[in-house]
Amino acid sequence: MTLLDFARGPALTVSFAVFTFGVAWRLLFVVLLPWSRDRAPARAAAPTAVLGAVRGFARHLWPRKAFAGAARFTTVNGYVMHFGLAIAFFGFAPHILFLQSVFGVQWPNLPSGLISVASVVTLVSLVLALGHRFASPVLRLISTANDYFSWFVTALPVVSGLMAVSHLWAPYEILLAVHLLSVALLLIWFPFGKLMHAFLVFVTRSETAVHYSRRGTVL
């Protein structure tokens, strides 16, 4: 078995299994936590729970004016990184073919030039985010190994993917295997690190929004 065969076969199979069961376990754990009943009566004009959750989630997509200046870089850079990752992952033709082989669905791909630009911009955004974390005394103080390793496993597939597409420094088969192994590492780490916020953010922000909307608190 070659390195590429291992990456395409056992590595991705195990990583997908860990990712699926890990994410399900984390979400189930949150749902099964003891939820205290809100005994305070809702205000007269309180929206429904669904509407309150949607409003609160949408409200937190951008910081309030009083904090916009201090949080502008983090907010803008975060959107650049996430949109860049989404474009590179869901718009690249080989990625779409891979997802089709797994889930049986496909969609039109984006031009390869746009994918390359999005990948480079994403990598720059990740480097800037790490530099900002080092430069900020507060962020540096509260950062843990979880933060840095989560950054590493996010950046590694971007770097290895750019190298594979560009055929840099090694045969394509080896670069592709390294890229697939980096994706496998990301999937395995995902449920247990800070990357899990991609799922938990919808639960936590919605629950907070519903709680405050019942009381008329300005979000």
| Nearest-10 Cα torsion for 114, 195, 25, 95 | 20
Cβ atoms of 139 and 133 within 8 Å: the answer is yes
Residue 216 binned pLDDT confidence (cut-offs 50, 70, 90): low
What is residue 218's predicted lDDT score, i.e. its pLDDT? 53
Residue with more model confidence, 48 or 181: 181
Q: What's the average model confidence in pLDDT over 155-180?
A: 91
Residue with more model confidence, 169 or 81: 81
Q: What is the pLDDT of residues 50-75, one digit of tens each?
A: 787 787 778 777 887 777 777 888 89
- Nearest partner of 36 among 196, 205, 207, 200, judged by Cα: 207
Instruction: State the chain's maximal CA–CA distance in angstroms.
Output: 67
- Mean per-residue pLDDT of the chain: 88
What is residue 183's predicted lDDT score, i.e. its pLDDT? 96
Residue with more model confidence, 49 or 83: 83
For CA atoms 151, 157, 160, 163, the dihedral sign is negative
What percent of the chain shows pLDDT beyond 70? 91
3-state secondary structure the chain: CCHHHHHHHHHHHHHHHHHHHHHHHHHHHHHCCCCCCCCCCCCCCCCCHHHHHHHHHHHCCCCCHHHHHHHHHHHHHHHHHHHHHHHHHHHCHHHHHHHHHHHCCCCCCCCHHHHHHHHHHHHHHHHHHHHHHHHCHHHHHHCCHHHHHHHHHHHHHHHHHHHHHHCCCCCHHHHHHHHHHHHHHHHHHHHHCHHHHHHHHHHHHHHHHHHHHHHCCCC
What is residue 180's predicted lDDT score, i.e. its pLDDT? 96
What percent of the chain shows pLDDT beyond 90? 60
Q: What is the pLDDT of residues 101-150, one digit of tens each?
A: 888 888 999 999 999 999 999 999 999 999 999 999 999 999 999 999 99
Integer angstrom CA distances of residue 178 from 83, 118, 161, 184, 187: 24, 20, 9, 10, 14
Tokens of 58: 């949408």
Residue with tokens 């309030």: 64
Residue 219 has pLDDT above 60, yes or no: no
Q: What's the average model confidence in pLDDT over 177-206?
A: 92
